[in-house]
Structure formats: structure tokens, C-alpha cells
Amino acid sequence: MKAVFIIENVRKSIGGVQMKYDFLERLGIKKVNSGACFGEWIEKPEGNILQSINPATEEVIAEVRMAGSQDYEQVIEAAERAAVILRRMPAPKRGDIVRDLCNEFRRHKDDLGRLITMEVGKIYEEGKGEVQEIIDFSDVAIGHARMMGGRVTPSERPGHFTFESYDPLGLAEEITAFNFPQAVWGWNTLNATVCGDPVIWKPSLQAPLSAIAVQHICNRVMKKYSIEGVFNLLIGEDMIIGDRLVKDSRIPLVSFTGSTAVGLRVGSLVTARGGECILELGGNNALIILADANIDLAIKGLAFGFTGTAKQRCTSTSRAYPEEDIAGIVTDRVVDWCKSLTIGDPLHPQTQMGPLISEKARANVLRSVQKAKEQGGEVVYEGKPLDRKGFFLEPTVIYTKKHLSIMEKETFGPILYIQPIHDLEEGIALNNKVDQGLSSSLFTNNLLSAFHFLSAEGSDCGIRNVNCGTSGAEIGGAFGGNKHTGWGREAGGDAWKKYCRHSQCTINWSGELPLSQGIDFFKNKK
């Protein structure tokens, strides 16, 4: 196993403390930062101090003073005032806001990507790629701003005109996870903005600085428009800020990204008050490889799928199902990949896998490996923690000829289970066996197999791929899963409609009052 580590010699004094990298200053990061903003920062929020830890070094990057109850009310009230302004603003003008945001993200792409890498541990290429997702999606959102009209439907009544109308819904709440600390905000926020909804953002407590940097960009852009409360930030503890946001009837829409257990609770609380949800929850994704597949291509899909982002993506590959004739080849190739993988400082250009987000996350992976052993799995490559600072862990590959119950659980870390299958039907059955239903892949050169996998009798996942891996999704399509993965969609497609109030509208110019379905209510009164 190779491990790359470098020491960054450049240090910059910010706020009286030695902090690495001068780019933090360019992004507005200080020694101690406010965690509450409605366009203007609340100078001294009433919450506790939160430390942002670099998972590659275990060092404190900076601190954040979290929001409290009074800060919460101040932010919500500002968002409500902004909702009135946005509602009156034509959608194409709201698209101009998105365009201006996009230009700022382009300007700061490298710095924002570096901050993501430093704060959550994904390699620099992926950090920059995450910012690029926001930039790319801005094109989609700006297009929506010009094309959000509803359908015109033929009326069955003479002299009537019927059409659909999509109007601003109101406030939108976003609760995001650590693994994509900026991109998921971008998907949701840009849709919300063009639809006319101010956003209240509660980011992961493991990635507060990424949120603060984004909020600084939003503040600068909105100075041009002289509007406060369109983009809002509340960094706070779950029981103080999170629960209150979820239960607040002033917020009609909640978008939550996180674990299934927490997401189902969020969903029940929001729907109980008549609100709406977008839930993007757990993934436990499978990749099927048929004997006729391009093996080189399939191995690349597996390699990124279970080691990219240290397998801390909801779309990461957890389970591989090769046909029996090629199972040995696939397993050997995967082990070879693990042996050649470059693990280390995620800012180093040669690094392919950085650390996990925390020691707790690393311990959870090691517990899953132990459970797999106890259930009869054969560890063909066992990952060990690296003997140095940082939450680094080599990947683990487990081979089994039978289904293990641990394979039904999502483990957010680099474990891959390999189970040989007899044919595609068995692979589809195993793919669908788990409660989660986010992403799935089939590698084959057989057209009939590909269409069967993509059919209603194939994979039951929200994302179905042929000859590409499970990990990652293009922003043009609507992103989301089925079953315990949640409901609702984000990013492209028709996902924007979730941020709107939908109305069916009718105009009668006939001078009469005919009723639908041929009902003649007034026949005895003529």
C-alpha cells in the first residue's frame, strides 16, 4: 500500500492564530466565525462553540459560534420578509441572481474546492468537482427561470380556458450532510431561488466552514440587489436548531440529506404539520457484472465506486455481483486495485483516497468488517488504519458465496462485498433485496440484458446505469432514490416543481355556467 503525505509549509496568521493556507482569508474564514446569517452576520450568536476539524491532520481549522433560539427567530423573520420581495420578482430576474452567484463560484472555484478537501477529506479533484456541480447546475436553474410555465389543457366546457400555474411556495429549509457540503446546497438553493423561495440552510456540524464560505459569496451577490433574507444560514445543534426547523409550520418545504433513521423521523414530523419533504437518505448500491462485460470498464466502475471519497457517497458501491465464471478474475483485479491505491493527504495531486470524516466513522467501518467475518465472509483484502495522524483507513474486500445480513446495512466507508451470481436474474434479485434503492449498475455488452435491467422487472432503484458505475450522477436529471432511500427528487428534471405551489386555473368567457361531467344542476329552475 502506498501512502502519500506532504507537509504544507505556508502558514498565514488570521485573527491572531496560526492557520494553514491563505485561501481561508480570501473566503472570509476567521479564527472564530458566526454561525447565523440572514444577509448580515449576527455578530455574537448565543449558541456554543463548534470546532471544524481537518480529518487528514486532526487539527482544528477554525471555530464557529453556533446559533441559538433568538438568532433563529431573527433569521426566519428576515426570510419571511424576503419571500414577499421574491414573490413579486419575475422569474427571469430571479434567474439573474443565480447567474451572478454562478459567476462568483467560478471565481472562487479553486479556493472553495480546497476548503472542501481540507474540511471533509475528499481529494482536491473531487472538491473542485463539487463546486463545478453548482456552476453546471446554475445553467439548468437559469433555464428553468425562463421555462417554468405549466401546461394548457383542453377544457370539456365550451368557452373555458384551463392551464397550470406554478408559483412560489414560501420558505425552503435545507439540512445537508458533510460528504457534499456545498453541492447539495447548490442543487436545492438554485431551484428554490428561481422558484421564488428564500432558503434557510442548516449544514452538517462536521462541515461548517464550507457553509460559511458559501454564505459570504451569497451576501456579496445580494448586496447588489439590496435584499436580505434570501440566503440564510443557521449552524446549530440538532435539538436547538434542527428540531425547531423541522417543526416550524412557517416553512412549507424541508429538504433533508442524511441517514435513513433520522430522515424518516424528519419526514414524519414535517408531514404531521402539513409540510412537504424531499428526503435523500441511505444508499447501499450494487454493481452487477455479466461474463460478457468489458471487465476493464467494470473494474474502473468498482474502483471509484468503493474508494472514491473513501466510500462516503450515498451513491458509492457497496456490493458487487459478478457472474460465477468471472468472479475470481473480478476479485483479483479489485484486490490489485487496493494494493496500488494511493492514500494520504487529499490535497496532494497523486492522492486517490483521503481520510474518513472522523474516528467514529472509521470505528464503524471496522465494526462492520468484524461482523462480516462473524457471518462467514472471507476477507480477501483487509484494510488497516494508517499509523499516523488523520482518520485514514485502507479499503477492505470481502468475498462470500452467500448473502450476509451485514450486506443489507449501509456502511459509510471503504468496504466492498463480492458475491458471485448464476445469472442476471439472481443479480437483480440481490440488487433489490435490500431496503435502500438509490443507485444501481449493470456491466454487459448484451443489449437484451441491458434493457431487462432497465425495465420495470429490473432494478428497483431511482438511478439505473448500464456500463457506468453507481457513484455520481449528472445534474441534468432528477436525483433521488426509492424505498428507504427516501422520496422526492433534487437537481434537474422536474425537481424544481417541488419548490412551487401548483394551481390548476380556469377562465370562463362563455357568459354561461356549464358544469363538468355534463351535470345540469339548474335544469328544474329554467
Q: Which residues are annotated as catalytic? A: 280, 314
Residue 252 to residue 230: CA distance in whole angstroms: 16
Q: For residue 103, give the H/E element and its range.
A: helix 91-107
State how far the alpha carbon of 21 is from the alpha carbons of 24, 50, 358, in Å.
6, 20, 22
Alpha-helix runs per DSSP H in 392-423: none
Closest listed residue to residue 278, CA positions, set 503, 480, 483: 480
Report the C-alpha dihedral over residues 339, 345, 347, 349, rounded to 10 degrees: -30
User: Please, are residues 87 and 75 in contact by the beta-carbon 8 Å criterion?
Assistant: no
Half-sphere exposure of 111 (CA within 13 A, CB side): 19
Residue 69 to residue 399: CA distance in whole angstroms: 50
DSSP E strands in 90-183: the ranges are 152-153, 160-168, 172-175
DSSP E strands in 290-419: the ranges are 317-322, 342-344, 378-381, 396-399, 415-418
Count Cβ neighbours within 10 Å for each residue of 7-38 and write b for 16 or more, e otherwise. Answer: eeeeeeebeeeebbbebbeebbbbeebbbbbb
Cell reading at 390: 488523520
State how far the alpha carbon of 242 is from the alpha carbons of 16, 72, 185, 221, 310, in Å.
32, 10, 16, 27, 27
DSSP E strands in 354-462: the ranges are 378-381, 396-399, 415-418, 436-437, 439-443
Phi and psi based region of residue 39 (left: phi greater than 0; alpha: psi -120 to 50; beta: remaining): left
Cell reading at 425: 436474474
